[in-house]
Amino acid sequence: MKPLRILFSLLFCLTLSAHPQQNDVANKLLGAWKLVAVEGISPVRHIPYDHPTGLIMYDPSGWMSVQIAVKGDRKHFAAGMGSGTQEEKANAFDSYFSYYGTYSIDLKAQTITHHIKNYSYPDGAGIENIRWFELQGNDRLILTPTEDGKGGTIDRKNATYKLIWERIKN
């Protein structure tokens, strides 16, 4: 009887310890993060970043959103907001993107998946953006997209495109 009790106690402890690690990582991701650097060029969008700014947020209910201004000095419309020329509107669209949706974490793969519900690019709704994540302390998050730009996945050691985020503190 005693060995059986020990076995059940051990199994109970193992099941309790399996979830806290997932919760610890999820809790560390919660909050708002500002974009501090982009390394490399996206193999999917081929956008040259020029002093980008951005914000990514993860909330406890499992939702996330991200906004990135590709160029630091976006031009105002000459005739005022809402009155841009076709060229001004195209430039504004091409220099800014955002999306929102839910997210999930895979600790074994060290990935976070953004399950996109809506995207500033109409074709982006419904896709999943998978990112390797690396937490450096409590205040730095590195997200590395897994896409190779050809419909496949790049090997992590060959990935050169990274988004570096810093936690926004109260």
CA triplet 53, 31, 157: central angle to 5 degrees? 65
Side chain identity at 145, as an amino acid letter? P
Instruction: Assess whether pLDDT exceeds 50 at residue 128.
Output: yes
Side chain identity at 163, as an amino acid letter? L
What single DSSP character describes residue 1? -
The CATH number of the domain holding residue 61 is 2.40.128
Farthest CA pair distance, the chain? 83
Residues of the domain holding 42: 30-167
Stated pTM of the model: 0.82
In DSSP notation, 45-57 reads T----BS-EEEEE
Q: What pLDDT, in 10s, does the model give residues 79-115?
A: 888 889 999 999 888 899 999 999 999 999 999 999 9
In a domain, 143, yes or no: yes
Are 40 and 148 in contact, with CB atoms under 8 Å apart?
no
Give the mean pLDDT of 33-41: 95
- Res 98: pLDDT: 96
What single DSSP character describes residue 153? B
- Find which of 39-43, 47-51, 134-138 is predicted with most confidence, using mean pLDDT: 134-138
In a domain, 57, yes or no: yes
Least confident of 72-76, 82-86, 137-141, 156-160: 72-76
CA atoms of 54 and 75, how far apart (whole Å): 17
In a domain, 125, yes or no: yes
Query: 26 or 13, which is more confident?
Result: 26
The domain tally of the chain equals 1
In a domain, 102, yes or no: yes
In a domain, 18, yes or no: no
Are 132 and 114 in contact, with CB atoms under 8 Å apart?
no
Contacts of 164 (CB under 8 A, 6+ apart): 35, 36, 37, 38, 39, 140, 141, 142
In a domain, 72, yes or no: yes
In a domain, 4, yes or no: no
In a domain, 118, yes or no: yes
